[in-house]
Amino acid sequence: MAKLGIILPLISSIFLIFTSDVYSATKFTLINQCTYPIWPGLLTALGTSQLPTTGFALQTGESNSISVPTAWSGRLWARTSCSLDSAGKFTCATADCGSGKLECAGSGATPPASLAEFSLKGGGGLDFYDVSLVDGYNVPITVEPKGGRFGNCTTIECATDLNSKCPKELGVVGPSGTIACKSACEAFGDPSYCCSGAFDTPDTCSPSNYSQYFKSWCPQAYSYAYDDVTSTFTCGGASEYIITFCHSSPAR
């Protein structure tokens, strides 16, 4: 019995060392290159392990790395213009997660919010990742896989300032101008924009002039629900995903 008590942990730790080398868990590094502070929010999809944090502040130039459990799925976004009110309630002008606190509590971003979405397989499988404007846009966002061994592992982004280019009827206006840009679905609720009701299949839901407008500025991002072909990216064995908010703008 005593011998087994020594040998079993020894065998399992050798196994652990081996597997953790082959299938090392990944991490997210979030970087704020915006000229203003942001408060990233993180939401874990049902059925996968939680991240060590669900929300924190990032001042301009700051970054934060968090370890990610194997086979994690979920989304990340940036909240903006957050503050504590006199009653101690934490709220954000864009992409609030409704928790009333710095950390989010199981809810996603209130649209509009630019999203980085992940479905990580780990264990030698293929990770899926994307940038989505399906819930609108608030902050430029870039996703860069590091150390990938197979799959595409492309850096993807919606790095354009779409707030300044937002069609008037979609704009969310704050004290200093447009602070976020709604999707046409959010703004008008029309099933043909939302790919809902009779339009809930890839065959019946087509891009709209609004989704095409977003796509023209951010060709790598989801512009409507069935935009999969040009908006889903894969990477195998990445050791890190760098998510940068307001990555230096492209030249256009």
Ligand X SMILES: *[C@@H]1O[C@H](CO)[C@@H](O)[C@H](O)[C@H]1NC(C)=O
Q: Which residues bind ligand X (CB under 6 A)?
A: 152, 154, 167, 209-210, 213, 234
Nearer to ligand X, 55 or 111 (CB): 111
Question: How is 115-167 classified by DSSP, letter by letter?
Answer: EEEEE---TT-EEEEEEE-TT-BSS-EEEEEES--EE----EEE-S--STT--
Least separation, in Å, of the C-beta of 230 and ligand X?
Answer: 8
Both tokens assigned to 132: 């989505």
Least separation, in Å, of the C-beta of 216 and ligand X?
Answer: 10
Least separation, in Å, of the C-beta of 101 and ligand X?
Answer: 37
Nearer to ligand X, 110 or 234 (CB): 234
Cis peptide before 112 (omega within 30 of 0): yes
Least separation, in Å, of the C-beta of 125 and ligand X?
Answer: 14
Nearer to ligand X, 18 or 150 (CB): 150
Nearer to ligand X, 55 or 148 (CB): 148
Strand partners, 115: 132
Nearer to ligand X, 201 or 209 (CB): 209
Least separation, in Å, of the C-beta of 212 and ligand X?
Answer: 8
| Cβ-defined contacts of 50-55 (< 8 Å, 24+) | 53/103, 54/97, 54/103, 54/104, 54/105, 55/79, 55/97, 55/99, 55/101, 55/102, 55/103, 55/104
Least separation, in Å, of the C-beta of 209 and ligand X?
Answer: 4
In 3D space, the residue among 232, 234, 188 whose CA is nearest the CA of residue 211 turns out to be 188
Please report where in the chains the tokens 């709220």 appear, as a residue. Answer: 91
The amino acid that residue 86 corresponds to is S
Nearer to ligand X, 154 or 196 (CB): 154
Query: What is the C-alpha to C-alpha distance for residues 227 and 56, in angstroms, rounded to an integer?
Result: 31
